[in-house]
Amino acid sequence: MLLRLALPTPLYRSFDYLCPSECLVHGKLPAVGSRALAPFGKKQLVGIIIAHINATDSDVPASKLRPIIDVLDDTPILSAQMLDFAGWLARYYHYPLGDTLSVMLPALISQGKPIHTPKTLWQRTSTPADGIAKSAKKQLACLELFCALPDGVSDTDLRLANISSQTLKALQDKGLIQKNTLKTTPNAPPTAQVIGEVLPPNDEQRSAIDTITQAIDAGNYQGILLHGITGSGKTEVYLQAMAHALAAGKQVLILVPEIGLTPQTKSRFGSRFAANICVLHSGLNDSERLAGWADCLLGQAQIIIGTRSSVLYPFANLGLIIIDEAHDGSYKQQDHLRYHACDVALWRGLTERIPVVLGTATPSLEQLKLAQNGKLHQCKLTKRAGAATLAQMQLIDIRQSTRAVMHQDGQAHDTTLGDDTVRQMRECLARGEQVLVFINRRGYAPILLCDACGWQADCPNCDAHLTLHKGHYTYLKCHHCGHQTAPPHACPECNSANLINLGLGTSKLAEHLHALFANPQISPISYPIVQIDRDTMRKKGAWERTYAQILTGAPMILVGTQMIAKGHHFPNVTLVVISDADAGLLSPDFRSPEHTAQRIIQVAGRAGRADKAGRVLIQTRQPDNPLLTTLVCQGYDAFAQNLLKERQMLGLPPFAHAALIRAESHDVAKARTAIAEIGKNLPKTHDIATISTDAPMAKKGGRYHVQFLLLAKNRKSLHALLDAHWLRLIDLPSVKAVKISLDIDPLGW
């Protein structure tokens, strides 16, 4: 028999090896799912044993077979089910199996490190302790510690008890204690307990909880779209459904979007459950990540809160998956294995026979279509829980306003805020409440332009303008590749000193707000203006300090990006202003209106969360834009239904299935040739449309991107085409000359 290994290589194949007798485990071949160290060319690679096969089934001639070097696990680290899962991921995303496994496994596991770092403890020997003089107080105190901790004393225990290394050495020399390495097989944790107050659910919550718990009890897959407006109490539904799974001794996985939500989420779950809560976020170092992974695998972790990649983890007995803010774009991985965590979660739910809950106020059009087709069971929460009411949205036509304001530089600037908006902001602040102003762009201004000749400050590496930043010092920065430079004093083309900045970012908007609300010459009271974006919150602890300042409830204006839109509770914010809603609606990206609406609803959800009613003012130059008016007058659901009809008419996702092939090269000609060759080598079929174009931002980070889009009515025929031809395409010489990638179900193109 031979061992078939998946190795971390970009090759779409597995590799067969002999198993030398010294690598047998208890006289048998090492189990499928264990790791093995294998020679690969002149290197050694850690691979996963994916099968035992007969020598006659191998394509490799017997004389060419090499033996593995070592087996790294006595028992498999991946179950048959996890290997199936890896196989599905590799097939669905057309990605090499070995590389797929590398994405799934923590770095230290891929490097061959043991799952557990063995624990070393000091332990008492059987030598009696009568030989110690009464005067050796420190040694006696140390022995007391050993009596108190009969299983052994760790170095941390010793440090906490202030025991010196001399004392320890003295006891060791007398043969009273010794250091032992223990193999840890942790005991199963006690069943999680509900400790916090359980809120009596309203009817809609009750029905959602029942749907989930019935699936848990029946051991059935159930995909559930928990479609609840902001503040409708989705979290309470999660908590009560979780209690059910936890009581049955099952693990619960909760996925959250990338943005720093995890600490807040942990405390929310921690105050409801006495349980082992494991938080898997992007800031973990390698050994923390390994520890978390092992806790999931061995069942130590009971509640797992994680970002996208946790959906790839192995679990001892998973009982429920919850995806919060399920419409969020961060659930799609944008490089390597380009999986979508929601799709992956649904597949896992199906194969592991457990419910998967997608919770959101603004489902993606894909999710709405799945619900309409009956593939997701929709549970709606239409009312705000508790006393809060939903904020009222209003469009503010900014074309007619007198919006100019004087800055400290003595120049007049356009505030882009309507007169009515400014008036309502003043009233809100005067009532002692807070205003949140949302803008989708950080920095000062997105464009620096020469008024004389039209020159613009562009990034040398990207097809993009440089953004002007003003703070302690002024600089131009590319938000795509990070290129940074000092702004010129005069136009590099015509030498004119008349350089002007156009457009609006957070810090310019904050300057407007200063001029309007914190200028003693205009307004008798000066209100704090708090700017919240990645630039101002970069320093450690900055967000915590700002958050505490907001929670004092004092009247102030918060101005910021995405960062303030997601998930946070600001009880005293009663007015939300959305600046520049038009940009997102005018963008050529077909998903842009959907994403803009989701953002507006999410930001709007920040208003009036407690007992105070909220208002949302949307600044627009197109107050008659049907998309906007539908959203404001009829709400997100009606808006989404309109968009769905439009997508159906245009044959766009979710009414078509897409795959995007991208070629990337320093040399634009090479990238274009590769894509042209791919086009020539793919057979034309009547049910798959193909479109080859330069990418929306063709040049990025000094590299050119050319793309080839496949758009199919039918998912199966798309995958059949790729199954039949992808490996041949990437073997074409012109394709090998560039970096090529395949994105299944891409979010945009």
d(CA 513, CA 403) in angstroms, rounded, equals: 12
Which of ligand ADP, Zn ion, none sits in contact with 199, Cβ below 5 to 8 A by type?
A: ligand ADP
Q: From the list 228, 299, 306, 654, which residue makes contact with ligand ADP (rule: CB under 6 A)?
A: 228
- Taking the alpha carbons at both ends of the chain, their separation in whole angstroms is 47
Binding site partner of 665, from Zn ion, ligand ADP, none, Cβ cut-off 5-8 A by kind: none
Query: Is residue 201 a contact residue for ligand ADP (CB under 6 A)?
Result: yes
Query: 238: which 2 tokens?
Result: 């999660």
Instruction: Verify binding: residue 602, ligand ADP, rule CB under 6 A.
Output: no
385 touching ligand ADP, by CB under 6 A: yes
Does the protein bind ligand ADP through residue 338 (CB under 6 A)?
no
With b for 16 or more beta-carbon neighbours within 10 A and e for fewer, the 589-600 pattern comes to eebebbbbbbbb
Residue 267 within binding range of Zn ion, rule CB under 5 A? no
To ligand ADP, the closest distance from the beta carbon of 440 in angstroms equals: 21
DSSP letters for 532-575: ESTTTT-STTHHHHHHHHHHT--S-EEEESHHHHSS---TTEEE
Tell me the per-residue interface mask from 486 to 505 with Zn ion, x by CB under 5 A, - otherwise: -----x-xx-x---------
**Beta strands at 251-255 and 303-306: parallel, antiparallel or unpaired:** parallel
Nearer to Zn ion, 271 or 484 (CB): 484
SS3 state at 256 = coil
Min dist. Cβ of residue 584 to ligand ADP (A): 22
Partner from ligand ADP, Zn ion, none binding residue 231, C-beta < 5-8 Å depending on class: ligand ADP
Q: DSSP characters for 334-400?
A: -SSS--BHHHHHHHHHHHHT-EEEEEESS--HHHHHHHHTTSSEEEEE-S-STT--PPEEEEEE-SS
Q: Is 453 annotated as a binding residue?
A: yes
Among 65, 136, 248, 481, binds Zn ion (CB under 5 A): 481
Give CA–CA dist 538/274, Å, rounded.
33
The Cβ-side half-sphere exposure at 79, using a 13 Å CA radius, reads 11
Site string for ligand ADP, 205-224 (x = CB under 6 A): x-------------------
Rounded to a whole number of angstroms, the CA Rg of the chain reads 30
Q: Calculate the CA dihedral of residues 602, 607, 609, 614 and round it to 10 degrees.
A: -130
Closer of 295 and 325 to ligand ADP (Cβ): 325
Q: Establish whether 142 is an annotated binding residue.
A: no
Shortest spacing between CB 447 and Zn ion, in angstroms: 14
In this structure, the chain runs to a length of: 749
- Do the Cβ atoms of 348 and 85 come closer than 8 Å? yes
- The verdict on 572 binding ligand ADP (CB under 6 A) reads no
> Phi and psi at residue 51, in whole multiples of 5°?
-165, 155
Q: Give the footprint of ligand ADP on residues 234-263 (CB under 6 A).
A: 234-236
Nearest residue to ligand ADP, using CB? Answer: 233
Residues 6 or more apart whose CB falls under 8 angstroms from that of 608 comprise: 388, 389, 390, 391, 573, 574, 614, 615
Q: Is 19 annotated as a binding residue?
A: no
Is residue 568 within the footprint of ligand ADP (CB under 6 A)?
A: no
Select from 110, 230, 309, 360 the one that contacts ligand ADP (CB under 6 A). 230
328 binds ligand ADP (CB under 6 A): no
Q: Is 462 annotated as a binding residue?
A: yes
653 binds ligand ADP (CB under 6 A): no
SS3 634: helix
Nearer to ligand ADP, 565 or 710 (CB): 565
Binding pattern for the stretch 180-199 against ligand ADP, x by CB under 6 A and - elsewhere: -------------------x
> How far apart, in whole angstroms, are the C-alpha atoms of residue 594 and residue 341?
19
| Distance between CA atoms of residues 495 and 122, nearest Å | 75
386 binds ligand ADP (CB under 6 A): yes
Partner touching 455 among Zn ion, ligand ADP, none, CB below 5 to 8 Å by kind: Zn ion
Closest distance of CB 448 from Zn ion, Å: 11
Longest dimension (CA), the chain: 95
Under the rule (CB under 5 A), what is the footprint of Zn ion? 450, 452-453, 455, 459, 461-462, 478, 480-481, 483, 491, 493-494, 496
Binding-site entries: 450, 453, 459, 462, 478, 481, 491, 494
Under the rule (CB under 6 A), what is the footprint of ligand ADP? 199-202, 205, 228, 230-236, 385-386
Binding-site entries for Zn(2+): 450, 453, 459, 462, 478, 481, 491, 494
